Chain A
Amino acid sequence: MILQKKQIFFVIIFFLIIVLKMFFHYCDTNDLMFMLMPVCFLVKIYTGSNYVYVVDKGFYFENLNMIVNKSCSGINFWMISFFVFAYLIIIRIKEYKNKKLIVLGIFLGTYLFSVLINSFRIYTSVLIQNYFRFVFIHNLKIIHEATGIIIYLFFLGLTYYILDKKLLKDHYENNS
């Protein structure tokens, strides 16, 4: 019975991911303000550089000569982290008193998580490209992507580990 209930949640998670992916496919930079604005705000705090929003192009950081647009929104990371954490939490929790709230909480929590990590990724890319631009002068994209891979994997793994081994395990043991 419990498994059936869980399956419903997995369907909801899957449905939400599909919706997000569809939305991402058809949207443009202007539609992604809810993702980009907080990310740029955090990058502004880290770097002390101001930005201007250029319609259809994205957030332009003049001092850094950098533009944050659809390709850097972090929505893919949101989807993955939502999938991972939602799955993890749902299979670990026995009681389902506030089940809708849990899914909503994970959805919002992973949104904040992806905004935070994405802003950190952009900041790190800026720092790294300054140090390695003499090697990768034509291929700064490599730096950005490699930084993205390392940071996303690291934080996803770390958060998963903490959540799995500490919080949820305690919760699971307390309940059982």
Chain B
Amino acid sequence: MKTILNPKWLLFINTLPIIVLFIVFFEQYTIIQSLLNNYNKYLWKLFGFILAILGALNFLYVVFLIVRKREVSVYYSFVSLILYISYIYLYDYYLRDIIPLYIPRWMIFDDILISVGAFLMPTLLYSLFILVIHYTPETPKHHPVLNFVYAISIPLFAFIFFQVILPLWKVFDNRFNIHVFLIFAIIGTLFFLFFFIRGIFILILSKSHWWKKHQWVWKIPICVIFPIAGLLTNNLYLIKVLVGIKKFHFGIFGDFNNLWFYVIAIINGIVLCLPSPSNKTYRILLFVLRSITFSYTVYFLLVFLPFLPFSIIAILALGMGFLMLTPLMIFIIHVNELFKDFYFLKSFFSKKYLFIILLLSFFVIPTGITIRFLEDKKIISETLEYIYMPDYSKNYDINTKYLKNTLEVIEEHKGNNVTGFFGTQIPYITSYFNWLVLDNLTLSQKKINYIKKIFFAQKDSIQSPNENIPNKNIRITNITKQSNYDTTQNIWKSWINLEITNFNDSFGIPEYTTEFNLPEGCWISNYYLTINNKKQYGVLAEKKSAMWVYSKTKMTRQDPGILYYLSNNTVALNIFPITKNEIRKTGIEILHKEPVKITIDSNIIELGNSNLTNNTKAIIETKNAIYVSAQQKKLLRKIQRKPYFHFMVDVSENQKIQYLDTLLNQIKSIIYKYKAITADAKISLVNSYVKTYSLSDNWQKKIQQLSYEGGFYLDRAIRLALLDAYKKTSYPIIIVVSNNMSNAILEKDFSDIQFAAPEVNYFFHLSKSGNLIPHSLINDPQKERTETVQIPFSSYVLEYKVSSNNIEYLSDNDCLSIVLKKDTFNISPDEISEKNWLSGLTMQAMWRSQILHPEISNTIWKNLIKYSFISKIMNPVTSYLVLENEAQKKAMEKKQKQIIAGNSVLDPDEDIQQMTEPEWWFWCALLCIIAVLYLKKYIRD
């Protein structure tokens, strides 16, 4: 046990935690510093400085001891206990000035409030160990029971003190009482832990005593019964059984409901209780087993370390609080057993060999967890790829059994984001899981439900509310516009200025939300919102992080405004708050080639002047895209592509087999009725996957052979059918064959891929009665349309020849169109410039490219963010956001970095990493070291 006095331990116990603590607090300070006043900042600097001094002194002391080859002195324990306890106490006392209550909670890192205590606790515990070792000489006169009696008498005395003495003690003011109480509590806890640890030490180190002969008497309760009782108590097992909420996973200090916690606890208890005879083979096996379960013991010590000072309170309050001390007791016993094994085996094996065994065995459980998490990562990445960025040429076969388990694990780890009391997360392991599997992000419940719908045909329990429902009492009361013609680019730069007034009398502070369609070829290049009569311009940010910050700032009732693409060309504008009778002013800058009309809340706004420009007939080309104006489209040749039926048969779990024969007969009757266009007809069998056959194949047999499983993933089937018509001479007429359209999984509308098949605006549901019920592809596809819709047998499109073998078919309407020269292409940052209309066109082409090839969307997503930042033009992956203060911007930047780092290392252009070499001081120091070494050598020689 004397090894514990080796000063190198202090590097791990004190120096390392202080460094990590510094980094965490520095990160926190950079985010909230703009919200702090001078006094707060002074406290931050003061506490930071004191901690730096404490850490530096400790480090110097360690270096001194290592150089002098000395052990850690008992005086160190006294000094460090006094200094660090005072530090924690003062930190806690000034906590409300260090992190004032007005700082929004979402800007503060999880657990930062307890992190000072948690990070400095190892030093305190280590100091206690030293004291115990120093004051427990190896003589048989010490008795463990006596020490436990001393320990127990402290909470007992405290109990009597609080019940009897304190109510009579009203001499000083309340503030003084609190101080006295806290100081006594700290001293009491120290003494309690001292005697407790001392008792355990005497117990395990006693040589000729009764305790050594009857080890099992105390080992079995401590190593087997207490851990299981502790786990059951933590998981509130009895209460859950009585109340009947057994399936809910939560616990007092975290969710330890997983069966493995119990299994390993029992194995750990057994290997610690097993006798240690002098058989070499048996002993090495025992050493390996004990080393394997040591990671489990260390894990629980780390989990309970921050709560150690509260154990005395828990004993007072609940009686079961002593179970909190179990990890500490087991840790001491475990270390002792490992030491004993090590010293025994040292005579048979080399020290190095034993250390390697210890190290490798220690990492068995963490490695097992990591492998399991990596499997989860693989399966979830594959699933997300299949849904959100599929490679249409690839055959996917996702292991649904494993996926189900993985989703359960993700949901378990999501919990309520509480790691402390009554949390549903597993301390440390959840953080590790989130980092390793989800790149510190999260999988929203909406996405989890969507995956479950696709692979397990799970029905929606709760419909997620539409967040963009306009408030009728908040209206636009004034619109001004200003269009300037930019002769260098030959484009219009127009500002739309809106004044929005709240006429609402009801309680609460409402939000203004609206959606409007941005015509093709228009790009948003700036945005402002007035906050406290000051025009604040928006900053471009990655869309997900911008929406996250917007929702957070909304919750704290600050003044954000956001502008982002909802789908295809639909843009959403949200402003919060607009109090009663308040007028908020906002403005959007739009770059456009031709004069356009934009409708916002039924207000038609005309931008630009057709008399001043003469470029509407022009075709504008970039390296990868072509812009065809409405005038130019009038000159193109009208043609008819060949239609064909594409039946999409529901073969999902929810499809009732008894109806299938009827529906198949209906298909046959349609084939019979429209014989002329059934020659090239196709049929897709749709469940979680889409399998497409020609109607001339023996499709009926294939339907009979299929097993009905998974959800009816119609979204994928329609998307594939529409994309199949891109640049082809035929187009599909989609007929959906299902007994119930509510089975259909449709994520959003198909307006983004309408360019692939401009003739197709509707698909038809073949009902059991044989009717064809229309559904719009452009707007709310799930909804049945009541209007009469003709099957588009003879629709016209416009033929645009990019080259002789590359023909794109454009919609026959008065709107302009964008044509891709190539499906996929690379853009260099040099091709993008600020507020440049052509850069907007290039980005739009990139966006369209990833619609055709979702497998490259991850790369394009990152490039689009980068190019949006360069060009200051908003695109579907970015958002214009106005924030009230610098702290919000900092928090958003942090989130943005986290999100962008989600899949790979590529960050926006502004934050390119320089692989900087060490600073000048390093070279100077190195030179000095070399000079000293040479000098020493020179003198020696």
A118-142 vs B, Cβ < 8 Å mask (1 yes, 0 no): 1001100110011001111111110
Least CB distance from A12 to B in Å reads: 18
Selected contact of B916 from candidates A72, A80, A84, A134, CB within 8 Å: A72
CB-CB under 8 A from A76, the residues of chain B are 917, 923
CB-CB under 8 A from A68, the residues of chain B are 914-915
Selected contact of B926 from candidates A54, A80, A133, A145, CB within 8 Å: A80
Which of B235-243, B717-725, B898-906 participates in binding chain A?
B898-906
User: A87 to B933, alpha carbons, bound, how many Å?
Assistant: 12
User: A159 to B26, alpha carbons, bound, how many Å?
Assistant: 37
Interface pair A139/B435, CB less than 8 Å apart: no
Interface pair A66/B912, CB less than 8 Å apart: yes
Q: Which of B891-941 contact A (CB under 8 A)?
A: 894, 897-898, 901, 904-907, 911-919, 922-923, 926-927, 930, 934
Interface pair A52/B914, CB less than 8 Å apart: no
User: A170 to B930, alpha carbons, bound, how many Å?
Assistant: 23
Q: Is B805 an interface residue (CB 8 A)?
A: no
Selected contact of B435 from candidates A65, A134, A141, A145, CB within 8 Å: A134
User: A48 to B478, alpha carbons, bound, how many Å?
Assistant: 57
CB-CB under 8 A from A139, the residues of chain B are 23, 26-27
Given contacts A80-B926, A80-B927, contact A137 B915 (CB under 8 A): no
Q: Is A110 an interface residue (CB 8 A)?
A: no
B20 closest partner in A (C-beta): A135
User: Count of B residues near A, CB < 8 Å?
Assistant: 32
Q: Is A31 an interface residue (CB 8 A)?
A: no
Interface pair A129/B23, CB less than 8 Å apart: no
Interface pair A84/B930, CB less than 8 Å apart: yes
CB-CB under 8 A from A54, the residues of chain B are 830
Q: Is B440 an interface residue (CB 8 A)?
A: yes
Interface pair A140/B906, CB less than 8 Å apart: no
Q: Is A56 an interface residue (CB 8 A)?
A: no
Interface pair A71/B23, CB less than 8 Å apart: no
User: A118 to B915, alpha carbons, bound, how many Å?
Assistant: 10
Q: Is B490 an interface residue (CB 8 A)?
A: no
Least CB distance from B890 to A in Å reads: 9
Most buried by A among B27, B440, B913: B913
CB-CB under 8 A from B905, the residues of chain A are 63-66, 126, 129-130, 133
Q: Is B828 an interface residue (CB 8 A)?
A: yes
Selected contact of B23 from candidates A72, A84, A130, A136, CB within 8 Å: A136
Q: Which of A119-176 contact B (CB under 8 A)?
A: 121-122, 125-126, 129-130, 133-141, 144-145, 148-149, 152-153, 156
Q: Is A67 an interface residue (CB 8 A)?
A: yes
B732-744 vs A, Cβ < 8 Å mask (1 yes, 0 no): 0000000000000
Q: Is A9 an interface residue (CB 8 A)?
A: no
Selected contact of B913 from candidates A52, A65, A118, A135, CB within 8 Å: A65
Selected contact of A66 from candidates B30, B897, B913, CB within 8 Å: B913
User: Count of A residues near B, CB < 8 Å?
Assistant: 44
CB-CB under 8 A from B906, the residues of chain A are 62-65
Selected contact of B915 from candidates A52, A122, A133, A152, CB within 8 Å: A122
User: A156 to B927, alpha carbons, bound, how many Å?
Assistant: 12
CB-CB under 8 A from B916, the residues of chain A are 71-72, 141, 144-145, 148
Least CB distance from B281 to A in Å reads: 39
Q: Is A111 an interface residue (CB 8 A)?
A: no
Interface pair B915/A72, CB less than 8 Å apart: yes
CB-CB under 8 A from B919, the residues of chain A are 145
User: A12 to B26, alpha carbons, bound, how many Å?
Assistant: 47
Least CB distance from A163 to B in Å reads: 14
Interface pair A74/B898, CB less than 8 Å apart: no
Given contacts A64-B906, A137-B897, A145-B917, contact A52 B828 (CB under 8 A): yes
User: A165 to B923, alpha carbons, bound, how many Å?
Assistant: 24
Interface pair B915/A125, CB less than 8 Å apart: yes
Interface of A is mostly: helix
Least CB distance from B904 to A in Å reads: 7
CB-CB under 8 A from A141, the residues of chain B are 914, 916
User: A54 to B912, alpha carbons, bound, how many Å?
Assistant: 13
Least CB distance from A164 to B in Å reads: 10
Selected contact of B934 from candidates A73, A87, A121, A134, CB within 8 Å: A87
B927 closest partner in A (C-beta): A80
CB-CB under 8 A from B30, the residues of chain A are 138
Most buried by B among A68, A121, A140: A140
User: A80 to B925, alpha carbons, bound, how many Å?
Assistant: 11
Interface pair B915/A60, CB less than 8 Å apart: no
A149 closest partner in B (C-beta): B918
Least CB distance from B162 to A in Å reads: 42
User: A18 to B799, alpha carbons, bound, how many Å?
Assistant: 70
CB-CB under 8 A from B27, the residues of chain A are 137-139
Q: Is A51 an interface residue (CB 8 A)?
A: no
Q: Is A82 an interface residue (CB 8 A)?
A: no
CB-CB under 8 A from B934, the residues of chain A are 87
Interface pair B897/A74, CB less than 8 Å apart: no
User: A138 to B27, alpha carbons, bound, how many Å?
Assistant: 7
Q: Which of B828-884 contact A (CB under 8 A)?
A: 828, 830
Interface pair A135/B23, CB less than 8 Å apart: yes
User: A8 to B894, alpha carbons, bound, how many Å?
Assistant: 56
A57 closest partner in B (C-beta): B912
Interface pair A134/B926, CB less than 8 Å apart: no
User: A68 to B658, alpha carbons, bound, how many Å?
Assistant: 67
Least CB distance from A133 to B in Å reads: 6
User: A133 to B911, alpha carbons, bound, how many Å?
Assistant: 14
Least CB distance from A62 to B in Å reads: 7
CB-CB under 8 A from A136, the residues of chain B are 23
Interface pair A148/B923, CB less than 8 Å apart: no
User: A137 to B898, alpha carbons, bound, how many Å?
Assistant: 8
A133 closest partner in B (C-beta): B901
User: A141 to B440, alpha carbons, bound, how many Å?
Assistant: 21
Q: Is A77 an interface residue (CB 8 A)?
A: yes
Given contacts A126-B905, A138-B27, contact A67 B828 (CB under 8 A): no
Given contacts A87-B934, A137-B27, A139-B23, contact A63 B904 (CB under 8 A): yes
Interface pair B915/A149, CB less than 8 Å apart: no
Interface pair A77/B435, CB less than 8 Å apart: no
Q: Which of B749-795 contact A (CB under 8 A)?
A: none
CB-CB under 8 A from B922, the residues of chain A are 145, 148-149
Selected contact of A72 from candidates B20, B894, B914, B923, CB within 8 Å: B914
Least CB distance from B433 to A in Å reads: 13
CB-CB under 8 A from A62, the residues of chain B are 906
Least CB distance from A1 to B in Å reads: 19
CB-CB under 8 A from A135, the residues of chain B are 20, 23
User: A136 to B930, alpha carbons, bound, how many Å?
Assistant: 31
Interface pair A65/B907, CB less than 8 Å apart: yes
Interface pair A77/B917, CB less than 8 Å apart: yes
User: A145 to B920, alpha carbons, bound, how many Å?
Assistant: 11
User: A3 to B934, alpha carbons, bound, how many Å?
Assistant: 16
CB-CB under 8 A from A140, the residues of chain B are 913
B859 closest partner in A (C-beta): A63
Most buried by A among B26, B901, B912, B915: B915
A153 closest partner in B (C-beta): B926
Given contacts A66-B915, A67-B913, A71-B914, contact A80 B901 (CB under 8 A): no
Least CB distance from B370 to A in Å reads: 13
A84 closest partner in B (C-beta): B930
Seen from chain B, the residues whose Cβ lies within 8 Å of a Cβ on chain A are 20, 23, 26-27, 30, 435, 440, 828, 830, 894, 897-898, 901, 904-907, 911-919, 922-923, 926-927, 930, 934
Q: A71-B914, A141-B916 are in contact. List 7 more A-B contacts (CB 8 A).
A: A125-B915, A129-B905, A138-B27, A139-B26, A148-B918, A152-B926, A156-B926
The 7 A-B residue pairs with the shortest CB-CB distance in the complex, in nearest-first order: A72-B915, A65-B906, A148-B918, A122-B915, A65-B907, A66-B913, A67-B912
26 contacts between A and B (CB under 8 A): A54-B830, A63-B905, A64-B906, A65-B905, A66-B905, A67-B913, A68-B915, A69-B914, A71-B915, A72-B916, A118-B917, A126-B905, A129-B905, A129-B913, A133-B901, A136-B23, A137-B27, A138-B27, A139-B23, A141-B914, A144-B914, A144-B915, A145-B916, A145-B917, A145-B919, A152-B918
